[in-house]
């Protein structure tokens, strides 16, 4: 009985022109499919839940033992929230692998996380509201031309101005597909500095009004919501502000920072955590992240840009903050992690090189996207405190 030829033998037997045609078809299919998927993510991405994982908790004294997962093995500190009927929150220290488990020490705890409970564990540390930190806050909204944007307001706690509520405020801006809770890690330091805080939500994000087809504009129109947040702050009696943006929130902050003619109160500085500074480069890097070779990643990124522009009218030059670097006038505190696979660190490297006169740059070794705080909370908090004291002199005194 004659043996059937192998797949490789059959491929070698095919005419080269036919193989080339099928390769071309495959190339075009990958480019088009990847571009349409990338465009949909760029235009609409939003999530309700803060990223984390549910894990069973073993506890011995001040140590907890968790199953190994990307979250529980992450470098730096993480947070843990037990599911009901248990209540509370714990901040956990560095991970140590013990057999098949991960051991972490409890650094701070509110309530009690008992042995045998099930909890949410995350590098974002918190998944609720400021009340999860034991902080009183006001659920409010920022009126804009396209609807009311949900926000959390935390008043000043220090200084004579705190009684009147008329000094400085930080406008905190989450990222693409993100939530306000992702920035709660930074709230204690903002409170310590003496500034009030307004954690804002922008149009077409989860919980905010849907405008038109619900497309994001990657920082351009969302910056209008931040300008309205400054209006809200002025109406509350605040006299000056800083902007604090995460990921796409950084791009939003920089767009708002360039519209000085629309500031109702002075903005004196900008804090950026892993900011998205140039979206075309982000789309290219995302293609590489998901395994596309360079000869595919480039065409997918260019076609994604074209599709986004055709669908939403997006002007990528308007949100190119590297091209705008010469126009910046405000001091900036910039953090970026070397393990960021969402926004390439080369963008922050370039901004720091372009504007060393304005940018205080902290390049955090081993940090993932918007997880710079987790690697060394003390160093991160000190940098934020010192920056606020520099750009908001006399705040909280």
Give residue 15's pLDDT.
Answer: 62
In Å, how far from its chain's centre is CA 121? 18
Give residue 386's pLDDT.
Answer: 97
Give residue 300's pLDDT.
Answer: 85
| C-beta of residue 282 within 8 angstroms of C-beta of residue 340 | no
Distance between CA 168 and CA 162 in Å, rounded? 9
Question: Which is higher by pLDDT, 84 or 385?
Answer: 385
Calculate what percentage of the chain has a pLDDT beyond 90: 77
Looking at every residue in the chain, the average pLDDT score rounds to 90
Distance between CA 328 and CA 267 in Å, rounded? 12
Average pLDDT value for residue range 8-25:
56
CA 314, 252, 245, 277 dihedral sign is positive
Distance between CA 188 and CA 135 in Å, rounded? 9
pLDDT at 1 over 80: no
Which are the contacts of 149, defined by CB distance < 8 A and separation ≥ 6? 141, 142, 200, 201, 202, 203, 208, 209, 225, 228, 229
Name the nearest CA neighbour of 179 among 230, 250, 244, 127: 127
Q: Give the model confidence (pLDDT) of 249-265 as tens digits.
A: 999 999 999 999 999 99
Give residue 188's pLDDT.
Answer: 96
In Å, how far from its chain's centre is CA 164? 32
Buried b (16+ CB within 10 A) or exposed e, 279-288: bebbbbbbbb
Q: Give the model confidence (pLDDT) of 177-210 as tens digits.
A: 999 999 999 999 999 999 999 999 999 999 999 9
Min mean pLDDT across 23-27, 302-306, 345-349, 385-389 is at 23-27
Min mean pLDDT across 144-158, 217-231, 324-338 is at 144-158
| C-beta of residue 144 within 8 angstroms of C-beta of residue 225 | yes
Min mean pLDDT across 132-136, 141-145, 249-253 is at 132-136
* Residue spans of alpha helices (H) in the chain: 7-13, 16-44, 160-164, 187-193, 222-235, 248-257, 279-289, 294-312, 345-354, 372-375, 377-391
Distance between CA 8 and CA 6 in Å, rounded? 5
Q: Give the model confidence (pLDDT) of 315-363 as tens digits.
A: 999 999 999 999 999 999 999 999 999 999 999 999 999 999 999 999 9
Which are the contacts of 71, defined by CB distance < 8 A and separation ≥ 6? 51, 52, 53, 78, 121, 122, 123
| C-beta of residue 334 within 8 angstroms of C-beta of residue 359 | yes
pLDDT band at 220 (very low <50, low <70, confident <90, very high): very high
Name the nearest CA neighbour of 331 among 386, 282, 380, 281: 386
Give residue 86's pLDDT.
Answer: 77
Question: What predicted TM-score, i.e. pTM, was given to this entire model?
Answer: 0.91
pLDDT at 2 over 90: no
List the structure tokens of 273.
Answer: 């955590």
Average pLDDT value for residue range 54-59:
96
Give residue 328's pLDDT.
Answer: 98
Calculate what percentage of the chain has a pLDDT beyond 70: 89
Composition of the chain by helix, strand, coil, percent to 5: 35, 25, 40
pLDDT at 26 over 80: no
Which are the contacts of 366, defined by CB distance < 8 A and separation ≥ 6? 75, 76, 337, 338, 339, 375
Give residue 391's pLDDT.
Answer: 97
Distance between CA 255 and CA 139 in Å, rounded? 26
CA triple 346-35-47, angle to 5 deg: 75
First-to-last C-alpha distance (Å) of the chain: 94
Question: Which is higher by pLDDT, 277 or 86?
Answer: 277
pLDDT band at 38 (very low <50, low <70, confident <90, very high): confident
Give strand pairing partners of 141: 150
Which are the contacts of 317, defined by CB distance < 8 A and separation ≥ 6? 323
Average pLDDT value for residue range 103-110:
96
Distance between CA 214 and CA 221 in Å, rounded? 12
């Amino acid at each position: 009985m004659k043996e059937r030829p192998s797949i490789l033998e059959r491929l070698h037997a095919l005419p080269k022109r036919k193989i080339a045609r099928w390769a071309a078809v495959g190339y075009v299919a990958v480019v088009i499919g990847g571009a349409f998927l990338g465009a949909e993510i760029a235009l609409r991405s939003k999530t309700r839940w803060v990223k984390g994982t549910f894990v069973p908790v073993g506890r011995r004294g001040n140590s907890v033992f968790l199953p190994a997962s990307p979250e529980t093995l992450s470098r730096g500190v993480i947070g843990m929230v037990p599911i009901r009927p248990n209540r509370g929150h714990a901040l956990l220290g560095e991970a140590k692998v013990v057999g098949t488990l991960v051991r972490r020490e409890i650094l701070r705890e509110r309530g009690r996380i008992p042995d045998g409970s099930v909890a949410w564990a995350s590098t974002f540390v918190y998944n609720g509201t400021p009340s999860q930190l034991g902080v009183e806050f006001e659920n409010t909204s920022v009126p804009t031309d396209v609807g009311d944007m949900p926000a959390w307001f935390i008043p000043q706690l220090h200084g004579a101005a705190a009684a009147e509520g008329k000094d400085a405020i930080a406008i905190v801006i989450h990222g693409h597909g993100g939530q306000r809770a992702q920035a709660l890690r930074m709230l204690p330091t903002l409170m310590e500095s003496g500034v009030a805080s307004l954690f804002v939500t922008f149009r077409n994000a989860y919980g905010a009004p849907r405008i038109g087809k619900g497309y994001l504009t990657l920082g351009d129109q969302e910056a209008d919501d931040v300008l309205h947040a400054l209006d809200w702050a002025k109406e509350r009696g605040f006299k000056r502000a800083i902007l604090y943006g995460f990921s796409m929130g950084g791009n939003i902050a920089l767009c708002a920072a360039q519209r000085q003619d629309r500031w109702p109160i002075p903005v004196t500085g900008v804090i950026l955590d892993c900011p998205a500074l140039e979206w075309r480069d982000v789309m290219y890097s995302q293609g590489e992240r998901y395994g596309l070779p360079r000869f595919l990643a480039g065409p997918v990124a260019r076609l994604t840009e074209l599709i986004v522009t055709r669908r939403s009218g997006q002007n990528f030059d308007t949100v190119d903050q590297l091209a705008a670097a010469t126009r910046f006038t405000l001091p900036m505190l910039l953090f970026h992690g070397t393990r960021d696979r969402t926004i390439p660190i080369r963008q922050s490297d370039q901004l720091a090189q372009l504007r060393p006169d304005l940018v205080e740059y902290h390049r955090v070794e081993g940090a993932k996207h918007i997880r710079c705080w987790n690697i060394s909370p003390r160093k991160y908090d000190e940098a934020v405190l010192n920056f606020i004291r520099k750009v908001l002199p006399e705040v909280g005194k």
